[in-house]
Amino acid sequence: MSTVDGTIVSTVACPSWCSVSTTTHQRELHWESRAVHWSDARTGDGWEIRHSIATDANGTPVDHAPRLYVSTNGGLSLAAAEALALTLLAAYEEAAD
């Protein structure tokens, strides 16, 4: 347990897709008064997609959350670009849920 502004914080409400440990969230809440929930990375041939949302201990979004992160390594083949586009849409729908 950690103390934030005199309030005992023992847990944080995570989205179902969050892959971050409770311990990490408690540390984030202690030092920054917010937790950053990260999805697992979705990867393909030359690309990677993850998304995140920053919340307070109650799971209420803070800052400009949610955010999607797309990284690529140089040019993509048509097949890889199509896979990225479809996966990005799936990640978008999960992040916007």
Q: Name the residues that contact Zn ion, by CB under 5 A.
A: 14, 18, 20, 37
Q: What are the backbone angles phi and psi of residue 96, rounded to the nearest 5°?
A: -85, -5
Contacts of 79 (CB under 8 A, 6+ apart): 45
Q: Shortest distance, CB of residue 93 to Zn ion, whole angstroms?
A: 19
* Residue 3 vs 21, nearer CB to Zn ion: 21
Q: Shortest distance, CB of residue 72 to Zn ion, whole angstroms?
A: 26
Instruction: For strands 35-38 and 47-55, give the pairing.
Output: antiparallel
54 close to 48: Cβ distance less than 8 angstroms: no
Q: Shortest distance, CB of residue 35 to Zn ion, whole angstroms?
A: 6
* Residue 37 vs 42, nearer CB to Zn ion: 37
* Residue 43 vs 52, nearer CB to Zn ion: 52
